[in-house]
Structure 1
Amino acid sequence: MSKLTPIRSSSKAVAPAGAARRPAPELTAAPRDYTYDGTFEGLLTVLFTIYDWRAAPSSIQPEATAQTGLFAQPAHRETDETLAARVWEGLLKTMDQEARARLYHVFLSEDPERELLIFRYVDLALRTDRDISENYANADVRRIQRLAQQMFREKHRMEAFVRFEKTTDELFHATIDPDFDVLPLIAAHFTKRYADQRWLIYDRRRHYGLYYDLTHTDVVQFENSSAQTATGVSATVLDEREPLFKLLWQSYFDHVNIPERKNMKLHRRHMPLRYWKYLSEKQPREMRFEPIKNKRPPRDPNLRLE
């Protein structure tokens, strides 16, 4: 299953209230440590295994970063896409699509306890007869909601602040460094908005990107990810007009600016400092700003027009 999109279901809504559903099995076996391959589908496979083995998790960790004990080895679960799809669709019996989507967003948040947090939320939903998505008296529900809101804000800001540079081979490139793994969430926006041009958005912190070839948007990774450390591409591969485009954008920004209405506190609230590195208008000026001199000279009142 691609990292770009979560498992999809044809189901439209949560099962109607009062509909018969099998109760979640009691987790009576000794708790286990679980590891998986780090994908969302792998985590769903672990969730299935927990109830199949009836063994609650002491920990759920990606195999690549798992910390094992001296005496007990964790149980590694290989990703089974069939089981993952079964779990993903089955969640709609206990929650609506919006609540289910939050679980995927929490996974992308990279919170250190995301796996156990998702398990506890799912387990609570399985053992409660009513919708738990607004049960804010529960600490896990509150945390799920808070992380989902943070993901939404990061997604929205990435969609607003990403700036592309055009290369000599007609590729529009942008390098980003978001706090969360938002590439899977912004793929649809950029695919629709820039459907007529080839583009690449690369996440230098997570060493993968999205590439659109005028037909499909795919997840890509570079063989030498350590080379992708800067926030932009080398000047040697940029289109020769790119510096002019940058200069024109800076000039436009300077001319529409109204110094008398400057409010840096409000400005930083809507455009936090950590996003300024992506914006051409926030980079040092290569040419000094000069106000537009487009006013007509005063007319001589004694001059008569023929």
Structure 2
Amino acid sequence: MLSDGIAYYYFDGSMVGLLNCVFRAFQFKEFQVQLCLNEGAQHGLFATVVEIPNDEQHAQRVWSALQQRLSKSSLRQFYFAYLSESLDAYQHLFNYCVYVFRHQHSVEKNYSHPSVLAISQWTKKVGREKHRMEAFIRFKKTTDELFISLIRPDFNVLPLIQPHFKRRYQDQRWLIYDEQRKYGLYYDLREIHEVSFDANEVDPNIEKGTSQSFQLELDEKEALFDQLWKDYFNSINIKERQNIKLHVQYLPKRYWRYLNEKII
């Protein structure tokens, strides 16, 4: 197979790596680029395959240039799309950077360009997940007064929901842990710290994805609070007017494991 004229950039999926892909593209004038997260990507026999390093200085140069060319709202969209952790989104972010830097005038509102439109769409998806996590997260209180919640969002929204929970629960120690990405945020009443541990030791039923059967020693009132949630839910639920299809549309089943009133 002959070369298809495309350069294949292999990077680690980090923001630094992505910005280094952009730096490399302009350094060597390679604008027909396919991003890859592993070296097993399909490419031509004689294609250009490049392993992109994580150079903080190069990444900062690209980000600083984006800050000069883009509005704050567009930079926010860029970050949201990146947190989708989708290779498709990464590719559009790369193409978007090339588009921005190769034009003198502002292009951030030109939705006829496929990458401008795609980034807007990814931003909405990640934004919806952010709002759902802020609404659906429930905490369990342990005997040492730590409020803990295990979550598994579709996208990496922990950085986005951090301000909401710090503002709303500033008088409580809390820990929100992302089971899938294996890191969490711990608030100690002063600062937020990134932590990591084996979530299976907290909830051995994680793989079932249907419960939060915490093995931690919980506060003696937790069972009462769980029952109060269930009683409240049952009291406002009018069985004769149930519309399960609409209910699932607004509250997808994948979120039910977070909700006390949904856990049997």
Category of TM-score, reference length = shorter chain? 0.7 to 0.9
- CA shift for structure 1 position 133: 2.7
Instruction: Give the deviation of 1:130 after TM superposition.
Output: 3.2
Cα distance in 2 between the residues matched to 1:140 and 1:38: 18
Structure 2 residue matching 1:237: 3-state secondary structure = coil
Unaligned runs of 5+ in 1: 1-29, 285-306
Task: Give the Å deviation of 1:113.
Answer: 2.2
TM-score, with structure 1 as normaliser: 0.74
Q: Confirm whether residue 279 of structure 1 aligns to residue 254 of structure 2.
A: no
Correspondence 1:114-129 to 2 at 5 A: 114-129=89-104
Counterparts of 1:73 and 1:138, CA distance in 2: 26
* Bigger share in helix: 2
Of the candidates 197, 214, 219, which is equivalent to residue 234 of structure 1? 214
Tell me, what secondary structure is at the counterpart of 2:107?
A: coil
Give 2:114's aligned amino acid: A
Equivalent residue for 1:10? none
Deviation of the 1:157 alpha carbon? 0.5
Give CA-to-partner distance per residue, 1:177-206, whole Å, 9 cap, x none: 111111111111111111111111111112
Q: What's the counterpart of residue 26 of structure 2?
A: 51
1:67 to 2:47 alignment: no
Which amino acid is the alignment partner of residue 60 of structure 2?
A
Contact 2:150-2:176 within 8 A present in 1 as well: yes
Letter in 2 for 1:67: G
Q: Deviations over 1:258-296 (max 9, x none)?
A: 445544343333222221121111222xxxxxxxxxxxx
**Are the equivalent residues in 2 in contact too, given 1:34–1:57 (CA < 8 A)?**
no
Distance 1:38 1:212, change over 3 A: same
Task: Say if 1:34 and 1:60, in contact at 8 Å, map to a contact too.
Answer: yes
Mapped partners of 1:41, 1:59: distance in 2: 17
Q: Alpha carbons of 1:35 and 1:86: their partners in 2 closer, same or farther (altered >3 Å)?
A: same
**Number of the residue aligned with 1:179:** 154
Q: Which residue of 1 aligns with 2:231?
A: 251
In 1, Cα distance between equivalents of 2:105 and 2:232:
54
Aligned equivalents of 1:53, 1:31: Cα separation in 2: 13
Residue in 1 that maps onto 2:106:
131
Inter-partner Cα distance in structure 2 for 1:233 and 1:260: 32
- Counterpart-to-counterpart distance in 2, 1:31 and 1:252: 59
Q: Work out the number of aligned pairs and report it.
A: 252
Query: Are the structure 2 counterparts of residues 181 and 158 from structure 1 closer, same or farther at C-alpha, using a change threshold of 3 Å?
Result: same
SS at match of 2:94: helix
Q: How does 1:1-306 map to 2 (within 5 A)?
A: 32-56=7-31, 58-62=33-37, 65-67=38-40, 74-222=49-197, 224=198, 227=201, 230=206, 231-232=211-212, 234-259=214-239, 261-284=241-264
In structure 2, distance between residues paired with 1:122 and 1:112: 15
Q: Give TM-score scaled by structure 2 length.
A: 0.84
Instruction: Determine which structure has more spread, i.e. the larger CA radius of gyration.
Output: 1
**Are the counterparts in 2 of residues 105 and 151 from structure 1 also a CA contact under 8 Å?**
yes
Distance of aligned partners of 1:233 and 1:282 in 2 relative to their CA distance in 1, 3 Å threshold: closer
Change over 3 Å in CA distance of 1:225–1:102 after alignment to 2: same
8 Å CA contact 2:89, 2:122 repeated in 1: no
8 Å Cα contact 1:61-1:115 kept in structure 2: no
Q: Tell me the distance in 2 between the aligned counterparts of 1:168 and 1:190.
A: 21
For the residues of structure 2 that align with 1:31 and 1:258, how far apart are their CA atoms?
59
- Conserved in 2, the CA contact under 8 Å of 1:106 and 1:144? yes
What is the SS of the residue equivalent to 2:36?
strand
Contact (CA 8 Å) 1:34, 1:77: kept in 2 or not? Answer: yes
Calculate percent identity across the aligned residue pairs. 41
Mark the runs of 5 or more structure 2 residues left unpaired by the alignment: none
Q: Is the 8 A contact 2:146 2:172 kept in 1?
A: yes
Change (3 A) 1:38 1:111: closer
Cα distance, 1:54 vs structure 2: 2.4
